[in-house]
A = this chain, B = another copy of it.
Amino acid sequence: MDATTVGSLGEFGTISRITAGLPHAPAVSVGPGDDAAVFLVNGSSVTSVDVLVEGVHFRRDWVPAEMLGRRAVAVASADIEAMGAHQGAVLVGLTVPADIPVAWIDDLARGIRLECEAAGAALVGGDLTRGRDVVISVTVMGETRGAPPVLRSGAQAGDVVAFRGRLGWSAAGLAVLSRGFRSPRALVEAYQLPHVPYGAGAEAQLAGATAMIDVSDGLLADLGHIADASQVAIDLDSGRFEIPDPLHAVASATGADPLRFILTGGEDHALAATFPLGKVPPEWRVIGVVADGEPTVLVDGEPYGATPGWDHFRH
């Protein structure tokens, strides 16, 4: 009889399914299966962990397992991009209920591996445990390859602010799902899976970015972290944003301002950075300027009248 749940397959059987036939990565000398993974790091190690919790960050009926696996890796990898670093290795701490179908785990593992491939990272290890809710903890380890990382604290008066990636799509997708709809499909998919602009972080570093962050909490909130860390004021020009068609559609259907999705919606994991004037790479869109002054983020010279972002314990 086929084992159909993780509980019947057991811990070690499930791990074997996840790790079977992992592609070989040259920098990895010890992959899954020993006490720890061993791999070469080029320059300094750049490391971040992100945890996704069922019922808080996702609902299993709203995100297919493969998308969830991809998303878990994507949100952690975005932090490596935001340092201007290169992707390296991924570890996954996975907690699941015993009655979860093995097919669900297979899909999740496929998603994890696909996103690792997209990011250019090697899946090197993890831990599998039982729990009431699905909790996915992804640690990504990147490398600087000798270049200085781009911090939040380097923005300077006279710099311009630019972003690359999508803004507001995930929040609009969530608004769609929350109202019981499944379209526009592009937005629902954007909510299920952020499109991290892999390689754009290192590109920005090379171009001379002075500060950078990935947009996880919302553009205003995350630029606020740059403003605080750099002790600068940031002023965005609302006319510089292009409103994508699907955002227009959802906004008019729900009576919302589409710019609000763009300025306050999180979880798209675009990259936002500051550059010296004239140094912005071609695919980045300039949306504002950095000035001296109290740390703040303004839109068209005024405070934006909205909750600026997401606090996991306050919403």
Contacts and interface: CB of A to CB of B under 8 A. Distances in A.
Interface of A: 6-7, 9-12, 14, 29-30, 33-41, 44-57, 79-80, 82-83, 85, 89, 91-95, 98, 124-133, 135, 137, 139-142, 144, 149, 151-153, 212-214, 229, 311-314
A301 to B, nearest CB: 26
A95 B131 CA distance: 12
A99 to B, nearest CB: 10
Given A35-B79, A44-B40, A149-B38, A50 B93 contact: yes
B130 A133 contact: no
Contacts of A6: 313
Given A10-B314, A127-B137, 16 more contacts: A9-B313, A10-B311, A12-B311, A30-B149, A34-B152, A35-B80, A36-B46, A36-B82, A37-B46, A41-B41, A45-B45, A48-B127, A50-B93, A51-B93, A54-B131, A135-B137
Contacts of A53: 95, 129-131, 135
Contacts of A94: 51
Given A44-B29, A45-B141, A11 B55 contact: no
A214 B35 contact: yes
Query: In the complex this chain forms, how many copies of it are found?
Result: 2
A46 B56 contact: no
Contacts of A98: 313
B49 A93 contact: yes
Nearest to A140: B36
B93 A93 contact: yes
A93 B53 CA distance: 11
Contacts of A51: 93-95, 127, 129, 135, 137
